[in-house]
Structure 1
Amino acid sequence: MSTYQLQIVSSGLLQQFKDKVDAKVLATTFSALEDAELSNEHFSFYTSVASVYSSKIEGEPIELDSYIKHKRFGIEFQPDYTKKIDDLYLAYQFAKDHRSTRKNISKVHTILAKHIVSKNWQGRFRNQHMYVTTDDGRIEYVAASPLIVNTEMEKLYNDIEMLLEQQLDIPEVFYFASMIHLVFVKIHPWNDGNGRSGRLLEKWFLAQHLGPKVWFLQSEKYYYMHHQEYYRNIRLLGLEYDELDYSKALPFVEMLSKAVTDKD
């Protein structure tokens, strides 16, 4: 894969990743994924899992049991408790039926960010500087300058399109899905909703290569259960966008495959 002319997604760690991951175990464990008994034509249990845990990573005070009662059984809660998760659920549903084009990635943000950012900024790139901060107010990361966000996202869109046209084996699919996720959150193109979008985009890429079974993968739950490691691995690349070192990305890239193979 290193011979492909990717513009922003690094293939430099691909061989190291393939040397570390057991492709047979990954393929076997992935093929064993199946839907939950609670799911029906109107309700997806694992889309609920994805929506709840991706939201919990961002600090939403939602519990899976409560959301299942709301979504599957129609039990009412205060709207503020469920509305952002409902929006993310709809974004996953949209992704299941569409290809991850520029237009559709923007549409996904419009759906999931309905109650996160103002209407004017739903599906639109930010035009302000973006700093990711810790709870105590320290700057943890300086995202791409608004002057280059459009250019950087064009590179990412082009790489996604190119990779979707390739015949990739299963470790390659997992590697590039993780790298797309990482590059996206490092660009941080939206005013808010970047983490939710990045995790959805990762799974979206997987599904376009590996089929609908991907939507049963509980990667968002895995990231939440290991959220300190998740953020630590994102931070490993550096403080500022212009100085990111993707040679340090392997610990992050490995997490997605571990979401399939680990049984903790």
Structure 2
Amino acid sequence: MQLQILSSSLLDQYLLEVPKGLKEAFDSLKDAQLSTPNFSFYTSVATVFSSKIEGEEIDLDSYIKHKRDGISFQPDYTKKIDDLYSAYSFAQTTRLHEESVKESHKLLSKHILSKTWQGKYRTQNMYVSTDEGRIEYVAATPAQVSIEMQKFFLDIGLLLEKELAIEEVFYYASMIHLVFVKIHPWNDGNGRNGRLLEKWFLAEKLGEKAWFIQSEKTYYQHHQLYYTNIRLLGLEYPELDFDKGLPFLMMLVMGMMEK
């Protein structure tokens, strides 16, 4: 299997560090009693904590009351989270490929970006800065984005066709997340979409129980470490060293084993 952008270089080391019992832990996952035919508790957990990573001030209990019980809050309090919930719901019934990912971005960015840029790769330079105004990462150039995303989805297609052990599925799900946020293909919504993609790939390979994994909550609870581990790869896209990505790749599986 010749992957072009989703590096396998850390797989052997990753497999040595994954705790035993991953399959048993995954098989034990089940939906929450709060879920109904029209409401998913774990989708709410995912969307609330993924949004909180991006600085949204939203409380899980309040959002559950809003989404499950129809209690009204100010629209500004819930609209971006509702959009992300719609993107997760879409992914749960749709195959993972480039056009479906673009559609998921249209949904999650409805109240983040103008319609012109929803589901459209950026044509501007992109950098990530700190609150102090210091540049901490320079993403792929606009000319690189379409090329890198083509490689990205070709690799995903190969992985979806190949039989993988559960440990390998978790490895590549995390790698998909990491590579996506490093390419940074959208003008905004990259983090939200990257975390959704990670779980989407897991569900494609392992089934619907993957949607019960509380990965977004884990990343929020350790969000400083989450960003630190992403930064380990380097400052500029052409110079990234994915061989430094193991600390990030381990976060998903270790969070899963802690549950």
Query: TM-score of the superposition, structure 1-length normalised?
Result: 0.97
Look up the SS of the partner of 1:196 in the other structure. Answer: helix
Matched, 1:75 2:68: no
Look up the SS of the partner of 2:15 in the other structure. Answer: helix
Aligned-pair identity in percent equals 66
One of 134, 158, 161 as aligned partner of 1:162: 158
After superposition, the C-alpha distances for 1:143-172 in whole angstroms (9 at most, x for unaligned) are 000111000000001000000001000110
The alpha carbon displacement at 1:226 in A equals 0.4
The alpha carbon displacement at 1:188 in A equals 0.1
1:8 corresponds in structure 2 to 5
The alpha carbon displacement at 1:260 in A equals 0.7
Query: TM-score of the superposition, structure 2-length normalised?
Result: 0.99
Which amino acid in 1 is paired with 2:3? L
One of 119, 125, 130 as aligned partner of 1:129: 125
The alpha carbon displacement at 1:259 in A equals 1.6
Which amino acid in 2 is paired with 1:76? S
1:233 corresponds in structure 2 to 229
The alignment of Structure 1 onto Structure 2 pairs a total of residues equal to 259
CA distance in 2 between partners of 1:254 and 1:171 (Å): 11
2:210 corresponds in structure 1 to 214
After superposition, the C-alpha distances for 1:111-156 in whole angstroms (9 at most, x for unaligned) are 0000000000000000000010111111010000011100000000
Q: Tell me, which stretches of 5 or more residues in structure 1 are unaligned? A: none
- The residue correspondences of 1:11-50 to structure 2 (distance < 5 A) are 11-22=8-19, 24-50=20-46
One of 99, 113, 116 as aligned partner of 1:120: 116
CA distance in 2 between partners of 1:101 and 1:167 (Å): 18
Look up the SS of the partner of 1:87 in the other structure. Answer: helix
Look up the SS of the partner of 1:239 in the other structure. Answer: coil
Which amino acid in 1 is paired with 2:66? H
CA distance in 1 between partners of 2:218 and 2:166 (Å): 19
The alpha carbon displacement at 1:258 in A equals 1.1
CA distance in 1 between partners of 2:2 and 2:104 (Å): 27
The alpha carbon displacement at 1:25 in A equals 1.2
Q: Over aligned residues, Cα RMSD in angstroms?
A: 0.6
After superposition, the C-alpha distances for 1:153-203 in whole angstroms (9 at most, x for unaligned) are 000010000000010001100000000000000000000000000000000
2:84 corresponds in structure 1 to 88
CA distance in 1 between partners of 2:129 and 2:47 (Å): 23
Matched, 1:101 2:102: no
Q: Tell me, which stretches of 5 or more residues in structure 2 are unaligned? A: none
Which amino acid in 2 is paired with 1:15? D
The alpha carbon displacement at 1:239 in A equals 0.3
Which amino acid in 1 is paired with 2:8? S
